[in-house]
Every structure is written in structure tokens, then in C-alpha cells.
Amino acid sequence: MHFPSSLVLRARKRPEFGVFVGFLIVFTGFTFAAERFLTFDSIAGIITVAAELGIVTAGITFLMIAGEFDLSVGSVLGVSGMIFAITAAAGLPHIVGLLLALVAAAFIGLVNGLLVVRTGVPSFIITLGSMMLWRGVILAVTGGFPVRYWGDSGLLFALNGRFAEQLRMSAFWFLGVVVILAFILTRTRYGNWVFATGGGPQAARTLGIRIDRVKIINFMVSAVLAGLAGCIQFARFHSVDPTRGQGLELEAIAAAVIGGALMTGGYGSMIGAMLGALLVGMVRSGLVMAGAPSYWYQAFIGIVLIVASVVNIKLRRWALG
């Protein structure tokens, strides 16, 4: 059967086409497989998980489009959450703690970026080192104990307060981050440079784009968003334990790839990143509700990641001829 609709023809050329279809399939699957899946509480729960993951995923996607990669986001999330928790517990104003946490994240991103750009060592290695380094620092500073803080404030509510029973403020942060980064990518000059830096660094340099600067800025964006997610998570749990964020880097990268971002750079979208994070969140809740032991979560995400990557590659060949 022919699908003459030009809408379909146009849609398939978008990086997020694959994840959009995947999202619908998994959504439909769980709707039938899990009785309580399609309830307000369940959807709210998915959004809460997906929002925190999605803020990190958006940052990673932004960096991946520029052709680099960040394994340290999980540790950065831990560092920022920890700084926020420790300063709050020590009685500092929350806004100061939040800013300190984000500045620390920006600093880690800056160091990651400078090292990658100046040494030419692949970002995979640099950020693997960075991931281990900062995780170690958290463990050493806390002695392995969690930090708790039971106070409250308007800022903590703004970060991740609960409203309408089950929904959380993090959803707005997620949406805001996605909208802003999508706007930068598609509408601003800087967005053009980001795509060029990842898609053809040599050509971009020839045409006068300062690709090193673009990469460093994007490393910082990725780290700051991971830091923000750490603070948002702290606002939800009122505690940070030293392993907070461990493994999240892989989940975020998986979500970015599921969302259509290319590991080789130059290709991806924020809508894709958002759908990727929502898909991962949906799988996490849906499996539990469908009665599968939660151990199966990782296995299922693994399958989704592989299927998504294969489908995305095929789609891209199809779209680009």
C-alpha cells in the first residue's frame, strides 16, 4: 500500500521520527499489558522519573550533536546534589547552595571541555576519568554516608514541589530546558554552529567556526543541566546519598540515542531527547505495573536501545538516500 501523504514523507526525515513511533508502540503495549498504566497517578509517576532523566538527556544530546560525549553527568549530578544538600544542612540560604552547586557543575564541564579540546584525547576517556574522579570525591567527603535535610523553602518547592496531587514541578523544568535548547538549535546562529561542529568539524573550522569554543560551551551546558537535575532530585528526596546518579549517565546516553542523536555528531533533536527520556521512564514504570520483576528493567532498556539504534540508522539512510 502506498502512503502518498507528504506529511509522512516529511516526518520520516526528522531525527525523532523513529522514537516517536517507538514511543507509540510501547505506550500502546503497556496500555494493554498493565491494567493501571493509563491512570493519572501512573502517568504522573512516569513524568516525574522522565523529567529528572530528561534534563540530563537534553544536555547530553546538545553535547552529542556537537560531536562529543559525557560519561561524567551521573557524578556531576551527585556532586551538585551533594553541595546543595550540605550547604542547606549547614544553614546557608538555599539560593546560595543552588548557585554553588551549578557553578561547581559548570566548572567540571569546563575542565572536561578544555581537556578534550586541548589534548585531543577522546571525550569518552576524559569523561570516564572525570566520572570516577568526582564519584571518588563525593565518597571521600561524605565518608559514604547520605546527607539529609528536612527543611523546606519556596525554592525547593519551585525545583520539585508536588502539585495537583501527583505531579511535580520538575516537569516544567524539563519542558523549559527542552524548549530553550530546541530553540537554540533550530533558530539561533549558535545552533547552526553546534550542528556544524559535530557534523563536519574540518569544514566548520575552514568556514571560521570556533569549534573548540562551541565544544567547551556544550560540555558546560551538559554539566550544568546534570547539576540542575541533581538539585531537583535533592528537592524531591530531601537527601543525597553518595551513589546518587551512578548509572544515570548510561541511562541518559541510552535515552539520547533512542531519541535519534548520532554518536558521531551533527544529528539529533531535543524533541527526540524528550521522547527518549519519556520512553525510558515509561518502560521503568510500565514493567512494574505489568507485573514483571523490576530486575527486567535494565534488560528491556537494553533491547529498546539496540532496536532503536538499528531502526534510527535505517531511517536515516532511507531519508538521506
Residues that bind other proteins (CB under 8 A): 187-193, 195-196, 199-200, 202-204, 206-209, 266-267, 320-321
Burial of 164 (0-12, 13-18, 19+ CB in 10 A): exposed
C-alpha cell at 66: 556537537
**Alpha-carbon torsion (209, 210, 216, 221), positive or negative:** negative
Q: Looking up cell 502539585, which residue turns up?
A: 163
Q: Assess contact for 232 and 65: CB atoms under 8 A.
A: no
In the DSSP assignment, the letter for residue 168 is: E
Distance CA 255, CA 259 (A): 6
Q: Which residues contact 211 (CB under 8 A, 6 or more apart)?
A: 193, 196, 197, 201, 204, 205
